[in-house]
Chains A and B, each alone.
Chain A
Amino acid sequence: MGKLDLRRIGLALAAPVLAIVVALVITCLILLAAGSSVSGFLSTIFSAPAERNVINILNNASILYLSGLAAAIGFRMNLFNIGVEGQYQVAVFTAAVFAAQGWLPGPVNVVVSIVLAMVVGAVWASIAGVLKVTRGVSEVISTIMLNAIAGSLTAYLLRKVGVSTGSNLATEEIPQDSWVPGIPLLPGAPNELLGLALLAVLAGIGYAVLLNRLKFGFNLRATGTSASAAVASGIDVRRMVVVSLMISGSIAGLIGLPLLFGSSHSYGTTFQAGIGFAGIAVALLGRNNPVGIAFGALLFSYLAEQSNLLEINARVSPDIVAISQGVIVLAVVIAYEVVRRYRNALEQRQVAAQLSSSAPAEATSEATR
């Protein structure tokens, strides 16, 4: 049995490792084709990050993790929520405007803003859910459209309420007593871990509990596996669609908050975009598993951080890293499929072996009867 378990663990690790190795090989080939230095690329990518880079990696990974979780909840339900991008932008904009008013004192302001962001994200996502269950609109289409609307809406409202400093246009700054202080994790680094990065840990635990310990999570997974079977066992699938999209949206609402309260203190034209799309890749990489997503987020964040050094230290275009991130995602999908087929074949052979060893005995007992 012990040997079998080892093999099972080995198989579980085989897919991501295989994917990363394949992605590296392909990236190497692209670098060769582009005439760039491969050894420079590898030594920069695998150089030990300095303390300040470790902090950056953790900060960005926590944000990517939230985005990955938001996407993963939809995926578990077989809902392709592409709208995380729009959901977090609408949510962080609302939170930024609300928190800047300073109606509530210090930490209370932060907590209420967090709740508000989750609600706004959920409401924005629910539009796609309601459209799906009442009008049969594919959530892929509607969330993509809602992303475009969210982007334009926040840009329009920003022009209405924003204040410009130099060429930047941003919401008013959040009062200082509501800034969430960073955590000086590594004393040698000039930067700190974002205080609200801890939201990622809480959300990860919440996700694991929800899916594996609660009836709702069971219903969600059951619906994702087979909607018709779920209906047969009395699950209200339409309600599940709306509710799970709302939960996905509420986690999406958290994405921008570590940056908002910990670093930028306002939402402006330069607020980081694109995290929602990166989250889809991260969820895919982590196979919608809470630990897997953390691994995927760390890997993506690590690659992005190291890629920054590439241009200066190894004179490799940062686009190459974007390519290798894309290749990793593709390789992961393929590698999991390869390993899954291999495992299936393995199991079939085991069962066949067990059957054939017990079959003669059964045959004789039947003959004597």
Chain B
Amino acid sequence: MRHTTKLVALAATVALVVAGCAKKEEPGGAAASDELCADKSGAGPKIGLAYDIGGRGDKSFNDLAAAGVKKALDDLDATCEEAEAAQEEPDSAKEERLRTLAEAGFNPIIGVGFVYTEEVVKVAKEYPDVKFAVVDGFGEGPNVTNLVFSVEQGSFLVGVAAGLKTKTKKVGFIGGVRGPIIDPFAAGYKAGVAAVDPAITVDMKWLSDKGDAKAFANPAGGKTAATALYDAGSDVVFHASGLSGGGLFDVAATKPDGTWAIGVDADQYQTATPEQQKRILTSSLKKVDVAVFDYVKAFKDGTTKAGFDLYDIKRDGVGYSTSGGHLDDVSSKIDEYKAKLVSGELTAPSKL
């Protein structure tokens, strides 16, 4: 009996502690990781942002979306709220995230990543007065806009840059996962290299069989692949593998002059270390920030269109970066190819 009392006493203590720590809250409840959406004073659009796993901090895709929203906060007096997917969550959790944002009065709501496509289509039907956008999406609905990019065109141009810069007549490519997400990068790159000189070989390395952490959050794997490619004679390597590309830049930084790495999505020169910057030739740009900002602006003006909103080379929605000035000697030639892509004289393939 004595022990039962002890057990009850323990339980009571624990309950008190719970109650105690419930009360001990700082006023306002400072959020853990939120700075982007902290200011709630704007009178413009209330943007709901739903990220895939990883969210902000990838120095690429998600950060670009956040940069677009940041611009909207500054220029359009917008406010925002962010939510991020959990590891291996059910699809219903994505739906629920979108519904929660819609219920909380956010409009427009932007799903960052194609994984939100089906969920956005479903939830958009339930909230016909809310506008939805999906970056890289492919969904249909009267209030759904897909922000899509001709990444093969940007990759074509960095392929041209690689073709013009290579001395060994051999260049490399590191892809996160084979399939519809990364194939356009690889295909465009390959075509761009071949456009300069069909005799140049392109070696390809793939990090994973599926679009998981091994593909897109695997700098160690990127390092191994980059080492293998450089050792096999490539002197320019382009990656389309999210955070795994950090491994490529690390390896490139240790290589001699004349060895190059090419970044993806964002201008990765801007976020690299000084040693890496010496080796980052260019980046294949995918201007998610521009697309997100344009979309919010269109929302504010009441001119959003359902369907596909294509950001291609004509609109300057994709392209290549010139930070660091490593391309100064060849940029006029690359721009010739760019003009041909714009005019339609050349087309970049999106399938391998």
Contact = CB atoms under 8 A, between A and B. Distances in A.
Given A39-B25, A312-B81, A273 B14 contact: no
Interface residues of A, number: 68
Contacts of A211: none
Contacts of B18: 21, 24-25, 28
B179 A39 contact: no
Given A14-B7, A311-B84, A312-B97, A269 B179 contact: yes
A308 B90 CA distance: 11
B23 interface: yes
B91 A263 contact: yes
Contacts of A273: 88, 212
A291 interface: no
B138 A316 contact: no
A78 interface: no
B176 to A, nearest CB: 12
A278 B90 CA distance: 12
A108 to B, nearest CB: 27
Contacts of B298: none
A38 B21 contact: yes
A55 B34 CA distance: 30
B277 to A, nearest CB: 31
A356 interface: no
B62 to A, nearest CB: 15
B31 interface: yes
Interface in A298-331: 304-305, 307-309, 311-319, 321-322
Contacts of A39: 22-23, 25, 29
A35 interface: yes
Given A32-B24, A39-B25, A164 B180 contact: yes
A304 B136 contact: no
Interface of A: 7, 14, 17-18, 21-22, 24-25, 28-29, 32, 34-40, 42, 52-53, 56, 59-60, 63, 151-152, 155-156, 158-159, 164-169, 190-191, 259, 263-264, 269-270, 272-275, 278, 304-305, 307-309, 311-319, 321-322, 342, 345-346
Given A32-B24, A272-B91, A308-B96, 13 more contacts: A21-B11, A36-B29, A37-B29, A39-B23, A39-B29, A40-B25, A56-B90, A166-B146, A167-B181, A191-B95, A311-B83, A315-B31, A342-B3
Interface of B: 3-4, 7, 11, 14-15, 17-18, 21-26, 29-34, 81-84, 86-93, 95-97, 99-101, 104, 114-115, 117, 126, 136-138, 146, 178-181, 208-212
Instruction: Give the top 5 A-B pairs by smallest Cβ distance, nearest first.
Output: A166-B138, A274-B88, A37-B29, A155-B209, A315-B31
